[in-house]
Amino acid sequence: MLFGITLLVFLLNAVALGDPARAAMGQRADPAALERLRRDYALDRPLAVQYATWIGRLARGDLGTSFREQRPVTEVIAERLPATVRLALAATLVAVVLGVAAGTLAAVRPGSVLDHALMGAAVLGISTPVFWLGMMLALVFAVTLGWLPVSGYGGGSLAHLVLPALTLGALHTGTVARMTRASLLEVVRQDYVQTARAKGLPERVVLGKHALRNALIPVVTVIGIGLADLLVGAPLTETVFAWPGLGRLLVAAVGQRDLPVVMGAVLVFALVYVVGNLLVDLAYLLIDPRTRRAAA
């Protein structure tokens, strides 16, 4: 699958207008310098040769050299990866904690005012544009109240992480909350929950221990799929909050037709997606004993 993605990206780039050497020259391009740059970038070779060279290098763990930065792509990506991972994990944490809590609260009394309020907020979270939400959060909590920094990585400080994580996590929080509620309501109707209640267990234990655990299985699936949303939302969040991550890198690289960086970044995104889904599968084993027996 990963090879398919790289081939697709390569071919898309080949049909896209624009020349990396020309894009690197600014507005006034000297013909001799342009020609030399095309040679340096190996753009004068046939497409098939260019792709084969790239794959050959990849097999040795070499992603090539960035046209724009003239540095190994592995280095360019490795610099931004920690910031991206931090943001994605923090956003997932926001989504899981807020989403599961809101979904559970809403499910306790379906149809109540609290339920409607929480689910309304969830829909709002799903449908609010990332750029707008980020701007609003920054305006309120950073510019007006001065509680948090407006933007930046801040050398990795926690304060700098809060607003970007909330922004990126918002979309996902809504999805998780709705799924948790729906799934819990479904589970609560099952016989074993009725049995637990009949045994006289307090509602807290019934919901928290017996029902929620089973209800979480579809929620975990949503979280796995949601990783893709986090990757899609990342470039916008990173732009609003000047976060030095992979999303911004990818957007800039596409703009500059910096093909080695585009290919490398897409490959990393694809890998993250695959690994994320693998982790979800492993989480099933943890939550649902039946899958453990089936696996054994």
Positions that interact with other proteins (CB under 8 A): 16-20, 22-34, 36-37, 68-71, 76, 79-80, 135, 138-139, 142-143, 146, 149-153, 239-242, 244-245, 248-249, 252, 255-257
Q: From the CB of 44, what's the least distance to other proteins, in Å?
A: 15
CB of 191 to other proteins, least distance (A): 54
The structure tokens 């309304």 sit at 120
Q: How far apart are CB 234 and other proteins at their closest, in Å?
A: 13
Measured from the CB of residue 257, what is the shortest distance to other proteins in angstroms?
A: 5
Contact 215, 177 (CB under 8 A): no
What is the spatial distance between Cα 69 and Cα 140, in angstroms, rounded to a whole number?
37
Would you say 196 or 261 has its CB closer to other proteins?
Answer: 261
Nearest CB to other proteins, comparing residues 26 and 200: 26
Structure tokens at 111: 């149809």
Q: Which is nearer to other proteins, 36 or 290 (CB)?
A: 36
Measured from the CB atom, is 229 or 258 closer to other proteins? 258
Instruction: Tell the smallest beta-carbon distance from residue 59 to other proteins (Å).
Output: 24
Count the neighbouring beta carbons within 10 Å of the beta carbon of residue 285.
15
Of residues 10 and 284, the one with the C-beta less far from other proteins: 10
Q: Which of 254, 236, 255, 257 is nearest to 245 (CA)?
A: 236
Q: How far is CA 50 from the centre of its chain?
A: 30
**What is the DSSP secondary structure assignment for residue 149, as one 8-state letter?**
-
Number of residues written out for the chain: 296
Cα 243 to Cα 79, 80, 81, 96, 167, distances in angstroms:
12, 9, 11, 22, 12
Q: How far is Cα 246 from Cα 239, in angstroms, rounded to an integer?
A: 11
71: Cα separation from own chain's centroid: 26
In whole angstroms, the minimum distance from the beta carbon of 245 to other proteins comes to 8
- Toward other proteins, which CB reaches closer, 155 or 200? 155
Rounded distance between C-alpha atoms, residue 27 and residue 3, angstroms: 35
